[in-house]
Amino acid sequence: MNVLPPTTGTGPPACPPEVAEPSGGAGVARGGAVPGVVPSGRRPLLVRTAVALMSSTVASAALGFLFWVVAARWFPTEAVGRASGVVASMSLLAGLAQLNLTSLYARFLPGAGARTRRLVLVGYGASAAMSLALAVGFLALGLGSGLIGDRPVHRLVFVVAVLASAIFFIQDGVLAALRRPGLVPAKNIVASGAKLALLPLLAGVVAGDGVLLAWVLPMLVTMLVTNWWILARLTPRVGTVPLPGRARHGMTSFASAEYVTGLVNNAVAFLPPVLVAHALGATASAYFYVPWTIGVAGTTLLWNVVISFVVAASSDGAEARVHVRRALVLVGLVVGAGAVTLGGAAGALLAPLGGQYAAHGADALRLIGLSLPFTGVILLYAAFAIMEKRMWRMVLVQSTAALLFLGGGWYGLPRLGIVAPAVALLLAQAATALVLLPGLRRRLRAVVAPQHRPAWAVRPETVAAPLGGST
């Protein structure tokens, strides 16, 4: 669906079509539209963005699951475990290297105007530099020994894969912020489908390395094509307008907090499979990896709602109550469906991989499903923190929870096996949600009460998201 106005050589307008332009008087929308009123026959921006991102997550997770089902059927368990360990290590480093730019872009790109292309390129450059540093450091420290081959070509593929993965992650946030969410599922489904198609072709050519190459090559090609489209067609051609000093300060403070949050969240998402591989070996890693990736997909669905809320509220904060209500409904649907499905049908979900995979991984998947309601509370709180551009308190809370989770999971691995990280996750998420719940309730009430509404939820003269502001 075409959700962004056609570009004319200068990129998308600073104000989206459904949002009022600055006029110095009453906010008259471009094309006569009224702020917050959705044109007949079109879904609201939050719903369109959320549906596109969630469709992408579900389709990618389903195709990824099929990928590992095929790999489990055709390759020995140890080979699958080694490949999943490499993918987990690559994803961990890429997650750290993408600098959590998805949140920053969702908050600032909708109002960046002629600075859009510059912001995208600067983010890509910073992420690429971080990718190279982390990947080279990872290899130099010998952290990939036993998983990554010793030949130079193996190491080169790993470094390139980390860099490509980081940019691939960031592109989802760029496309959503530029109001092209429909391209997100297209990009991810093409990449995931190509991985699955390449797996049998490469298995007989490069033996044990076929699993990894089938995972990396489609992602690399898709990333390059998508970047060409973003930079050539979606972003303004004039990208050298300097940011005001106040705006740079606001973005720097926001980005710093977001980066620390990103480090924590990516460690939580991608480090557990690496820890399992190192502590319990490749076979245990194979049994744990798929349940964990299913759980991460559930969290990603919730994050899709959060990013969609931020994009919609940044474009039209005057309709805060409507955006919040829609976000609560979507979070409730994801949490309910995810907890019931993962908690009640864990064994059936893992059965296609084989009896041993289901026997060893079902309990971990059930516990991960039970943690989703608490994750929903945490991410809703994070959405308000992003809109308020006050992230450091969130950083402290999430860092403490991550230490409890990772420390508890590592301590429990020799004692409980692969179920230990799932137990630690459930306990840490529950404790964090209980701490954040009172603050979330206050923010929900404030949005409803006109006299106490936050600054981002007040109808302004210009509704395009400012680059500056308090932090």
What tens digit of pLDDT does each residue of 135-147 get? Answer: 999 998 888 777 7
Question: Which two structure tokens, joined as six digits, stand for 244?
Answer: 């005001």
- What angle do helix axes 116-140 and 77-97 make, rounded to 10 degrees? 130
pLDDT of residue 416: 92
Check whether 24 has a pLDDT greater than 50: no
pLDDT of residue 3: 32
pLDDT of residue 374: 95
Q: Which residue has the tokens 């303004």?
A: 236
Among 35-39, 148-152, 157-161, 405-409, whose mean pLDDT is lowest? Answer: 35-39
Check whether 5 has a pLDDT greater than 60: no
222 or 28: which leads in pLDDT: 222
Check whether 31 has a pLDDT greater than 70: no
Please calculate the CA angle 286-288-293 and round it to the nearest 5 degrees. 105
Check whether 251 has a pLDDT greater than 70: no
Check whether 171 has a pLDDT greater than 70: yes
Check whether 413 has a pLDDT greater than 90: yes
pLDDT of residue 469: 33
Number of residues written out for the chain:
471
Check whether 202 has a pLDDT greater than 60: yes
Q: Pick the closest to residue 171 from 188, 155, 158 (CA basis).
A: 188
Kindly report the pTM of this predicted structure.
Answer: 0.63
| Separation CA 206–CA 301 (nearest Å) | 35
| Separation CA 165–CA 306 (nearest Å) | 22
Domains of the chain, by residue range, sit at 42-451
Check whether 119 has a pLDDT greater than 70: yes
Confidence band of 14 (pLDDT split at 50, 70, 90): very low
Among 21-25, 278-282, 290-294, whose mean pLDDT is lowest? Answer: 21-25
Q: Per-residue pLDDT tens for 433-470? A: 999 999 889 888 877 766 556 655 555 433 333 333 33
Confidence band of 60 (pLDDT split at 50, 70, 90): confident
For the chain, the C-alpha Rg in angstroms (whole number) is 22
Check whether 378 has a pLDDT greater than 80: yes
pLDDT of residue 406: 93
The percent of residues in the chain predicted with pLDDT above 70, rounded, is 78
pLDDT of residue 234: 77
- What angle do helix axes 77-97 and 245-280 make, rounded to 10 degrees? 160
Secondary structure of the chain in HEC code, one letter for each residue: CCCCCCCCCCCCCCCCCCCECCCCCCCCEHHHCCCCCCCCCCCCHHHHHHHHHHHHHHHHHHHHHHHHHHHHHHCCHHHHHHHHHHHHHHHHHHHHHCCCHHHHHHHHHHHCHHHHHHHHHHHHHHHHHHHHHHHHHHHHCCCCCCCCCCCHHHHHHHHHHHHHHHHHHHHHHHHHHCCCCCHHHHHHHHHHHHHHHHHHHHHHHHHHHHHHHHHHHHHHHHHHHHHHHHHHHHCCCCCCCCCCHHHHHHHHHHHHHHHHHHHHHHHHHHHHHHHHHHHHCHHHHHHHHHHHHHHHHHHHHHHHHHHHHHHHHHHCHHHHHHHHHHHHHHHHHHHHHHHHHHHHCHHHHHHHHCHHHHHHHHHHHHHHHHCHHHHHHHHHHHHHHHHHCCCHHHHHHHHHHHHHHHHHHHHHHHHHHHHHHHHHHHHHHHHHHHHHHHHHHHHHHHHHCHHHCCHHHCCCCCCCCCCCCCC
Check whether 381 has a pLDDT greater than 60: yes
pLDDT of residue 173: 82
